Structure 1
Amino acid sequence: MFSKNKTKISIPAVVSSLIFTQNRKAMQIFPESLREIWNEWELRAMVLISLALQAILILIGNWRKHSTSNILRIVLWLAYLSADSVATVSLGILSSNQEDSEGDSVNPNFVITAFWAPFLLLHLGGPDTITAYSLEDNELWHRHLLGLVVQVIVALYVFIRAWSSEVLNFLAIPVFVVGIIKFGERTWVLRSASSEHFRESMLPPPDAGPNYARYMEEYSSKKAEGFRVEPKTFIEAPPDHSYAVQANESSSAQDAAVLSKAYILFETFKRLCADLILTFHDIENSQSFFKNKTYEEALEVIEFELGFMYDLFYTKSLLVYSGVGGILRCITLSFTVCVFLAFVLITEKQEYMKVDVIITYILLVGAIVLEFYAVVVILSSEWTRLWLSKHKNTAVDLLHRAASSIPWIKDKRWSNTLAQYNLVTFCLKERPAKCIFINEDLFINRLLEKYRYTDLMDVSKELKNLIFGQLLDKLGTASNFEASRLKELCAQRGNRVLEKAKCLDDLGWTINGAEFDQSIILWHIATDLCYYSDLNRNRDLDQSLNFEASRVLSNYMLYLLVMCPFMLPNGIGQIRFRDTCAEAKEFIAERKSITDAKKACTMLLKVSTDILPSKVKGDRSKSVLFDACRLAKALQSLESKGHWENNEKKWEFISHVWVEMLAFAANQCRWSDHAQQLRRGGELLTHIWLLMAHLGLTEQFQISEGHVRAKLIVE
């Protein structure tokens, strides 16, 4: 037992005193009766809150993979940030309560509260479903390692101070083991997912190549002996990159076969997430696989791959679904259950306060429930289904069927939604703020306003088919895997479509002569103007795939520009958008007859654009409102002059321009920004990025001749 003098200078006491000095001073302003209630219930409340936060994290931690709800994100963010703080503060309270024990006797109330310390370590370990809220959290693994050391010291300090050789003291030991395992798991997973260590794990073993010095010694020796020596080189066969994986024939699962193929592809293409280069053979084998698939099969594989990527960066999957992880899960579950049973059988509970005994039961039952729930999540996960599909025996097949029957096994792998943002609708202010107390000039109001004008819609099968077909069409223009041609195709952002339709002379200024953000706003407004103009003339157009797809992709690209500018190439998109909105609002305000988007677009098309807007306005304002009117009129003019056979051909052209812009944006976006969106329900842009990489439409690959080897021919 530590003496009081040693306690004053111990590290845990210093840490806890720093945490609570200000807190205790602040409580002096409250009445004494309230302070007494607070001192009595402070620790109990904090421990229960810590358990509740763990329940929230494990229950909804994985929902963000397929949910775009902002409310869910806020709740999860608050729970994630609060969980560690509450557990740490609770340990600090336990540490500061040491002063209540005097001499060699230990207060029974402190014995049972000290039993809660290892549970707080377990809470600091976090659930399996969320280890990192964002990618940046993985980079802070050093901080978590330091936290692991400090918090274990604090918990041990509390444990040793409360030691009185009672049964409860001995029961705390296995819970300590569980807590340290959980906390250690989280730290190890964060370290493994950090950029430095993840990249390092992707690097192949060092290869010095053939021994050149020995080769030349042999060459010189044979030549000196009078032999005619001729060096010959040959290329070794590349390693087998087959993606054909046999699934369990007795299992229900063509789905399992797709899952197996997706995992093999993921193991190769996760190098993209480490900024490493793919080989020619990786791309070639991937191409041959995807070229023979329908859009549904191809995108299903992509969904599985991105699911694996999410688990890798944001959960404990890397450890949990390994042999070591299985052993650790058995240890933590069995230890927790045994401690609970032992605590139930303890008869000497009368010396403890009844409320503390109840809270202890809650902590034990909560730990067991969370452990069993974690096991159910493990059994129902795609990783478990992947493992089961690779083993053939009756027991495994039964387990596979049981796992597949779990209700949430077929949950969505991503949100399958497209965000929509429309400039004209935003400028009309059709959706006023609900809270009249927030000043319009405040940042929070401007932020809420952006979200207020953001809509969501499902990604239709027709749209997926259109995108997949256009990517295959683009790939078809590069025969025999021309590396230079593939990289050239990655840089095209609409000009290929214009050139193919022989519109480059008329419309090339919107693509080649403009920055990418400028092209997005130009084509977005022009698409809207043509949309309402053609809808007035032909009501049947709303059944046209290209007609609807053009507007959906137009609104999606503007959403990316306004809400996710980090996913697009650098530029002044925000400035250009604001200036264009300012000019549009001014135009609308001067015409009282404009009450909706349809009338606004009709009036904009009536404005004469015979003189270039830049010649009238100069270049101070970055607005492109009337440049977009010029584009819309050019599109309508090309149709009226017979450039296209019918109206549908024009919309097919516009939709293809948008698909190529989308592909360009996907390829230009950094992998880290794609990975960040996985925790927000996923983005269509991310799916296109990975699909393009599989098709070879990426710059992250190199062509090599293979493993060249040399040997001496002695004659």
Structure 2
Amino acid sequence: MLLIVVSSFIFTEKRMAMQIFPESVRKIWNEWELRAMVLISLSLQAILILIGSWRKHSTSNILRIVLWLAYLSADSVATVSLGILSNNQEDSPGDSVNPDYIITAFWAPFLLLHLGGPDTITAYSLEDNELWLRHLLGVAVQVLVAFYVFLRAWSNKVLNFLAIPMFIVGIIKFGERTWVLRSASSEHFRESMLPHPDPGPSYARYMEEYSSKKAEGFKVELGPPIEAPKAENNSNDAGGVLDDSIQNAVILNKAYSFFETFKRLCADLILSFHNIEKSQTFFQNRNSEQAFEVIEIELGFMYDVFYTRAVLVHSRLGGILRCISLSLTVSVFLVFLFKEKHAYTGEDVAITYVLLVGAIILEMYAVVMLLSSDWTTLQLNKHKNGVLKLFHTAVSSIPLVKRNRWSNKLGQYNLITFCLKNRPAKCIFIKKDLFINKLLEKYRYQDSEDVSKELKNLIFTQLKEKSKSASNFDACKQLCARRGAQVLRDAKCLVRLGWTIFGVEFEQSILLWHIATDLCYNFDVKRNSNVVPNQNCKNSKQLSDYMLYLLVMCPFMLPNGIGQIRFQDTCAEAEDFFTERKSITDEEKACTMLLKVSTDISPSEVKGDRSKSVLFDACRLAKALQSMEVEGHWGTNEKKWELVSQVWVEMLSYAANRCRWSDHAQQLRRGGELLTHVWLLMAHLGLTEQFQISEGHKRAKLVVQ
């Protein structure tokens, strides 16, 4: 077996390397090597199950690094531990089995249990689901190795018999993980949603009847088609007259119903007009808070499908397997508790207790997480169960169990702040010209803010208004292609500002409007401390910094382009500008000096196209916005900020619709992105190109006269 060969090689190399250490150190190492590896394996499982679900609502980079290391290390540590176990029998005297080997061999099924992993994280990323076949091969090999260790330690002792139920538990866990990985892989996920083959009405039978009636001399005509009846939409559910518990239940049920339909978007399948109309009717009658709550729940279900065992665990089979594994583990613990253990060393007995208690605690924690999830609430809404509801209520009231469905954070990045370099370096020992310093510097200027209700309301109101025009496929296609031009056209300033949208790449528009928004915000708000910014001004600033955050930190979520090059060149020009003027020390002075630069001649006519910087083009845009306010195009700056905020919402929706579903799904494990919520919300409102053109099920009627 390959694993035994590899582990034997590692074992031999390790022994050769240990020869350089003193005898006392080698002795301690040989005694505690396996024990340490087993305890580390259990510790990694505890880390995975405790913080595996936190990434659903956390944007912490430290958490991601810890979880990534634990996920990659967990399988390796357990596998190496099995390899060490397979080599330890050589120390046994004669044909007898060393008691120390018997108790350590009892740890083999626990290592299988660890290889199965916790319920809260089966896949670290989508790519892990695609490797399910490799994991299946690993299952077969590692089960054989564990069984090999078990057979070599067999001596009709109680521990040998106790290992059998633990083997069953380990194989259950291992099998569950493989099945879930396979189910979430792109191929099988898509296959699971394909409808049953539908040949439609029999054309041959229809034509036979047509020919027969015509041959008999009847006048036969093709009558008007018979349309299949549409399901009635109850648009008044979850209305404001209902109490909170009923309203929350209805919203949860609706979210799951929509999830079952709209998860087709994650398999590159199309939706029907009926699906779109039903969804539109529901969301058109909701406020922004209810709409985004439905989206949050749906994306939570999507996260669980791709990264956890939720689908299996919350099924009837999953419940049975959970009961079997927990009852077997508790039974083994009770038998071991009252068993005579004098033949074994105290350290090994203590470690065995730790493994058993650890397995029970982790299983109980998994049950607690199961009871507190939206899946359980959904089941309680469908099937009334007093006992389960009591447990669910008790578990949900525990502060440590309460979790947000997503981070509700908005990444923020500001170009001028980044160029001023005012924030001190976290590590003074790293040289400035090293790549690692540049990487850390990029993260140093990344901020985040909470997504406000006002911002959600702005986005939802504008998208809902757009959806009223989505009457057919062509209209949807045009609406999805808008990235600010329609807003400028409605405000009658397309001629003056259209150059920032037409004929330029999308990332260029983002940089132009980002810098211009920053300059206008500084001029209107920061320079006048007594002026309170209106809500559109705040929303514009947030969305401006968020779109630049996507451009810098998540460029894969935006349409293809040269965004990184354009950002670097713009930063280089800004840094040169600030360096030449020593008086610029903060953002307010920087914006003031930029606005003072004359832009009567287009920068491209002076500089050519060698540099992709848009710094002073953005200054032209900011001055145009300010001058239109002064010239009386708008009565107050509120009109200006209303325009800017609407432009940003159009850019946001354009980016959301152009991002691939796999990139949206990847962000679910990083706390979630507002862009992903907007993408799914647009699909619900019919603002998507991913639906079929045919309008329902029709059947031709034969008219005989």
TM-score (ref. length: structure 2): 0.96
| Partner SS for 1:440 | coil
Relative distance call for 1:578 and 1:323 in structure 2 (3 A) is: same
Q: Name the CA distance, whole Å, in 2 between partners of 1:256 and 1:112.
A: 51
Structure 1 residue 154 and structure 2 residue 145: aligned? yes
Structure 1 residue 401 and structure 2 residue 373: aligned? no
Relative distance call for 1:219 and 1:429 in structure 2 (3 A) is: same
Q: Name the CA distance, whole Å, in 1 between partners of 2:636 and 2:390.
A: 58
In the other structure, the counterpart of 1:310 is 303
Asked if 1 retains the 8 angstrom alpha-carbon contact of 2:269 and 2:690, the reply is: yes
In the other structure, the counterpart of 1:48 is 39
Q: Name the CA distance, whole Å, in 1 between partners of 2:128 and 2:236.
A: 35
Q: Name the CA distance, whole Å, in 2 between partners of 1:497 and 1:166.
A: 79
State the Cα distance separating 1:211 from its structure 2 match: 3.2
Q: Which residue, 179, 189, 193 being the options, matches 1:198?
A: 189
Q: Which residue, 270, 276, 279 being the options, matches 1:277?
A: 270
Matches within 5 A, 1:474-623: 474-476=466-468, 478=469, 481-535=471-525, 538-623=528-613
In the other structure, the counterpart of 1:237 is 228
1:304-332 CA distance string (max 9 Å, x none): 11111111101000100000000000000
Asked if 2 retains the 8 angstrom alpha-carbon contact of 1:542 and 1:548, the reply is: no
| Partner SS for 1:542 | coil
State the Cα distance separating 1:551 from its structure 2 match: 1.0
In the other structure, the counterpart of 1:341 is 334
Matches within 5 A, 1:661-676: 661-676=651-666
Matches within 5 A, 1:326-405: 326-347=319-340, 349-392=341-384, 394-395=386-387, 397-405=389-397
Relative distance call for 1:397 and 1:673 in structure 2 (3 A) is: same
Structure 1 residue 323 and structure 2 residue 316: aligned? yes
Asked if 1 retains the 8 angstrom alpha-carbon contact of 2:657 and 2:679, the reply is: yes
- Any unmatched runs of 5+ in structure 1? 1-9
Relative distance call for 1:393 and 1:120 in structure 2 (3 A) is: closer
| Partner SS for 2:610 | coil
Q: CA RMSD in A?
A: 2.0
Structure 1 residue 128 and structure 2 residue 119: aligned? yes
Structure 1 residue 300 and structure 2 residue 293: aligned? yes
State the Cα distance separating 1:703 from its structure 2 match: 2.8
1:128-159 CA distance string (max 9 Å, x none): 00001111111110111011000000000000
Asked if 1 retains the 8 angstrom alpha-carbon contact of 2:235 and 2:285, the reply is: no
In the other structure, the counterpart of 1:114 is 105
Asked if 1 retains the 8 angstrom alpha-carbon contact of 2:227 and 2:698, the reply is: yes
Asked if 2 retains the 8 angstrom alpha-carbon contact of 1:121 and 1:151, the reply is: yes
Asked if 1 retains the 8 angstrom alpha-carbon contact of 2:228 and 2:698, the reply is: no
State the Cα distance separating 1:258 from its structure 2 match: 1.3
Q: Name the CA distance, whole Å, in 2 between partners of 1:243 and 1:134.
A: 38
Relative distance call for 1:708 and 1:685 in structure 2 (3 A) is: same
State the Cα distance separating 1:23 from its structure 2 match: 2.7
Between 1:90-99 and 1:493-502, the stretch displaced more is 90-99
Matches within 5 A, 1:456-475: 456-475=448-467
Between 1:583-592 and 1:439-448, the stretch displaced more is 439-448
Q: Name the CA distance, whole Å, in 2 between partners of 1:679 and 1:586.
A: 39
Q: Name the CA distance, whole Å, in 1 between partners of 2:445 and 2:545.
A: 11
Relative distance call for 1:53 and 1:507 in structure 2 (3 A) is: same
| Partner SS for 2:429 | coil
Matches within 5 A, 1:65-80: 65-80=56-71
In the other structure, the counterpart of 2:639 is 649
Matches within 5 A, 1:26-105: 26-105=17-96
Relative distance call for 1:536 and 1:147 in structure 2 (3 A) is: closer
State the Cα distance separating 1:242 from its structure 2 match: 4.6
| Partner SS for 2:532 | helix
Q: Name the CA distance, whole Å, in 1 between partners of 2:244 and 2:287.
A: 23
Asked if 2 retains the 8 angstrom alpha-carbon contact of 1:244 and 1:261, the reply is: no
Asked if 2 retains the 8 angstrom alpha-carbon contact of 1:12 and 1:153, the reply is: no
Asked if 2 retains the 8 angstrom alpha-carbon contact of 1:57 and 1:79, the reply is: yes
Letter in 2 for 1:617: K
State the Cα distance separating 1:226 from its structure 2 match: 4.8
Relative distance call for 1:485 and 1:711 in structure 2 (3 A) is: closer
Letter in 1 for 2:405: R
Q: Name the CA distance, whole Å, in 1 between partners of 2:673 and 2:695.
A: 36
Asked if 2 retains the 8 angstrom alpha-carbon contact of 1:12 and 1:157, the reply is: no
| Partner SS for 1:129 | coil
Between 1:575-584 and 1:650-659, the stretch displaced more is 650-659
Q: Name the CA distance, whole Å, in 2 between partners of 1:515 and 1:124.
A: 48
In the other structure, the counterpart of 2:252 is 259
Letter in 2 for 1:386: L
- Any unmatched runs of 5+ in structure 2? none
| Partner SS for 2:286 | coil
| Partner SS for 1:418 | strand
Between 1:294-303 and 1:389-398, the stretch displaced more is 389-398
Relative distance call for 1:668 and 1:85 in structure 2 (3 A) is: same
Q: Name the CA distance, whole Å, in 2 between partners of 1:558 and 1:137.
A: 30
Relative distance call for 1:250 and 1:603 in structure 2 (3 A) is: closer
Q: Which residue, 426, 433, 450 being the options, matches 1:434?
A: 426
Asked if 2 retains the 8 angstrom alpha-carbon contact of 1:131 and 1:316, the reply is: yes
Q: Name the CA distance, whole Å, in 2 between partners of 1:250 and 1:580.
A: 53
State the Cα distance separating 1:195 from its structure 2 match: 0.7
Relative distance call for 1:26 and 1:482 in structure 2 (3 A) is: same
Figure out how many residues of one structure are paired with residues of the other and give that number.
702
Q: Which residue, 173, 177, 181 being the options, matches 2:164?
A: 173
Q: Name the CA distance, whole Å, in 2 between partners of 1:87 and 1:239.
A: 55
Matches within 5 A, 1:634-645: 634-645=624-635
1:533-570 CA distance string (max 9 Å, x none): 12266444433111111111111110000000000000
Letter in 1 for 2:430: I
In the other structure, the counterpart of 1:5 is none
State the Cα distance separating 1:207 from its structure 2 match: 1.5
Q: Name the CA distance, whole Å, in 2 between partners of 1:515 and 1:186.
A: 44
Asked if 1 retains the 8 angstrom alpha-carbon contact of 2:227 and 2:699, the reply is: yes
